[in-house]
Amino acid sequence: MQRTYLAFQHNCRLSTLRVAVTAVKTVASLEETNRSLFKRAKDDDHVVITDSTIFHPQGGGQPSDVGDMTSELGARFDVQMVRMSTVAPGEVLHFGRFADASCVFQPGENVTQSIDAEKRLLYSRYHTAGHVLGAAVRHLVEKEVENFDETKASHLPDSASCEFQGLIDAKWKDLIQQRVDEYIQKDMAVEIDWWDEDDFKANGMERLIPDRTALGMAEGEKFRVVKIVGAETYPCGGTHVQSTRQCGKTMVKKISRAKGMSKVGYFLH
């Protein structure tokens, strides 16, 4: 199968996009690993696959976009969850339900995708704020905490947090908040760039080189990186606001520690 072109990675300000349908499947017909991605699905729900998408699939700590697709013939598909296929690298699965089960898309048909722009903005604010928090923690404690490293993050509004290797004492909370406030107030630009392995090495970031094979990427294809200008650069496929100030007030919650790891929670006002 051909990989889905991730239009949102090139222009995350798009809220609608005209695309071509490549396949329509019932959830019941999917491979078991793909069926398990959408636990709320009923067997008569569907998956729509398109050649391009503006829907961000759940991943990288960011929730999936929701919205709908409509055809000129009047068919409407409500997109409830978007995930990357577990069996076809790079293929995006749009899970949901047709408004009228007797009126469904056909392969080759052109449809218009529309995302819930309000949710997209919220998720983008949370994602950028998570990178701001990660940069603040790294710059403050990297040389103070044994075996420090950034590991993973969740940018879900109800449970947003960044996780780190190493034990970060609670005494750092106020200093982290001050540094986050500083980055937000500075209105740092958030820029998208595309790097290869040599670019990561040239910037001293070998530790962050993504796994090309796991991502289904061809040799020579470049990785997407997000730069918070003046703070940090991260390999990232998610959506973001255009500057740190657009994150809004970002509040650092408690620092929890267990088994050599630390988790720093946050939320947005």
Per the CB < 8 A criterion, the answer to whether 226 and 239 are in contact is no
Token pair for 3: 């990989």
For the chain, residues with pLDDT lower than 70 are 1
Phi, psi of 181 (to 5 degrees): -55, -40
- Parse the chain into domains and list their residue ranges: 5-115, 120-268
The 3 state secondary structure assigned to 217-237 is: CCCCCCEEEEEECCCEEEECC
Given the structure tokens 């990178």, which residue do they identify?
A: 131
CB atoms within 10 A of CB 132: 26
CATH T-level topology, domain 120-268:
Threonyl-tRNA Synthetase; Chain A, domain 2 (3.30.980)
Reported in sequence order, the residue ranges of the chain that DSSP labels E, i.e. its strands, are: 5-6, 16-26, 46-50, 52-53, 67-71, 76-84, 92-98, 110-115, 149-154, 161-165, 190-195, 223-228, 232-235, 250-258, 261-268
pLDDT value at position 43?
74
**pLDDT tens readout for residues 94-151:** 999 999 988 999 999 999 999 999 999 999 999 999 999 999 999 999 999 999 999 9
SS3 1: coil
Give the CATH number of domain 5-115; options: 2.40.30.130, 1.10.10.10, 3.30.420.590, 3.50.50.60: 2.40.30.130
When the pLDDT of each residue in the chain is averaged and rounded to a whole number, the result is 95
Q: N- to C-terminal Cα distance for the chain?
A: 42
pLDDT value at position 163?
97
Instruction: Name residue 238's beta-bridge partners.
Output: none
pLDDT value at position 41?
86
